Amino acid sequence: MVRQRVRIRFSKSGNLKYIGHKDLLRAFVLLFRRAGLPFAMSGGFHPKIKMSFPSALALGIEGFDEVLELELKESVDNSVLLADLNCQSIDGLKFLSAKILNEAERKGKLVLSIFEMIVPEQFRIETMNRITEFLSQKTVIAKKSNGKTPTKEVDVREAVKNIKFQTETGVLQAEIISCEGPEAGIRELLFVLNLDKEYFQTIFPKRIKCVLAGE
């Protein structure tokens, strides 16, 4: 049996940003079945489609360069696969590219996420000042909790590789490093910039790029 792994990049936007990762998984299963993909299944009493995501997108955030890796039990042409997926897709979900992986390539590992958002005009001067102060520090600690685990302290300054802010347009772009264990994310960055109260109120972050190891 010929096995084939494929790395698929897709966008999740519009109303689809309001569904959680588990619901997205169920949507993918139905979509793969409708597209007639020869997907591989795991063993055991509860077999599942062999697919993985280097990074699950947080609820409420649009993603324009998300990554899915899927294992197939027979070879397919990547352009045909991409066309079939888009033909069967739903509103808010668009498949951007499909890359056939060779046997030597490891499973994708996220190393960097690039987020973009627009800061309302009334916060822009203060935000610019806070970014300047933030970049001058070696360590900026914030508390992180996902509601299930105890609150942890994370170093936001260490996690932010780069941050750009245009005061005229209000466009803020941040490159956030991914690491093992509790890690600082976009919510923690907004907290140290004193913008956390505007999260999903007037500020709606979107992930515009996922960078994997080796890219």
CATH code assigned at 142: 3.30.70
Does one domain contain both 41 and 65?
yes
CATH number at residue 68: 3.30.70.580
Specify the number of domains making up the chain. Answer: 2
Q: What is the pLDDT of residue 147?
A: 62
Which of 57, 80, 101 lies at the terminal end of a domain, its last residue?
A: 101
Which of 51, 79, 101 lies at the terminal end of a domain, its last residue?
A: 101
Task: Please give the Cα distance from 89 to 32 (Å, whole number).
Answer: 9
Q: Would you give the distance in Å from CA 84 to the centre of its chain? A: 23
pTM score of the predicted model: 0.93
Does one domain contain both 158 and 208?
yes
Q: What is the pLDDT of residue 26?
A: 93
Q: What is the pLDDT of residues 134-189, one digit of tens each?
A: 999 999 999 987 666 668 899 999 999 999 999 999 999 999 999 887 889 999 99
Q: What is the pLDDT of residues 67-80, one digit of tens each?
A: 999 999 999 999 99
Does one domain contain both 134 and 165?
yes
> In this model, does residue 56 exceed pLDDT 60?
yes
For 107, 111, 115, 141, the CA distances from 161, given in Å and listed in that order, are 24, 11, 12, 15
Phi, psi for residue 214 in degrees, rounded to 5: 90, -5
Full domain range(s) for residue 78: 4-101
Tell me the helix, strand and coil percentages in the chain, rounded to 5: 30, 35, 40
Which of 101, 123, 149 lies at the terminal end of a domain, its last residue?
A: 101
